[in-house]
Amino acid sequence: MPYYQFTCRSCGSFDCNYAMADVPLESACPHCANTSARSFGGAGLVKTRSAATRLIDQTKRTASEPAVVGAPPSNTGSRAFTRNPLHRKLPRP
């Protein structure tokens, strides 16, 4: 259920949770119980970071704080990086 903003004349604005079909134009203030009118504002959109921005941040972090590995990955010794039998037919250097 979305939140709707109401403004009390003495306490200020507050948010209430109503179903979209049941949202009233006035609501009781939770602090002083005065009738408060609904206030209309812009949509509460959240701007998320783009994939490029996240990649740049990760790259900067690894440049200054590289991950330290204590041991090689466990499957390195078996030379089997894939289980697909068609990969055995690929040319090797």
Chain contacts with Zn ion (rule: CB under 5 A): 8, 10-11, 29, 31-32, 34
Of the two residues 17 and 64, which places its CB atom closer to Zn ion in the complex?
17
Which run of H or E residues covers position 8? Answer: strand 3-8
- Residue 28 beta carbon to Zn ion: minimum distance, rounded to whole angstroms: 9
Closest CA to 23 of 42, 43, 37: 37
Of the two residues 14 and 18, which places its CB atom closer to Zn ion in the complex?
14
Of the two residues 34 and 62, which places its CB atom closer to Zn ion in the complex?
34
CB atoms within 10 A of CB 18: 14
- Residue 4 beta carbon to Zn ion: minimum distance, rounded to whole angstroms: 16
Helix (H, G, I), strand (E, B) or coil at 37: strand
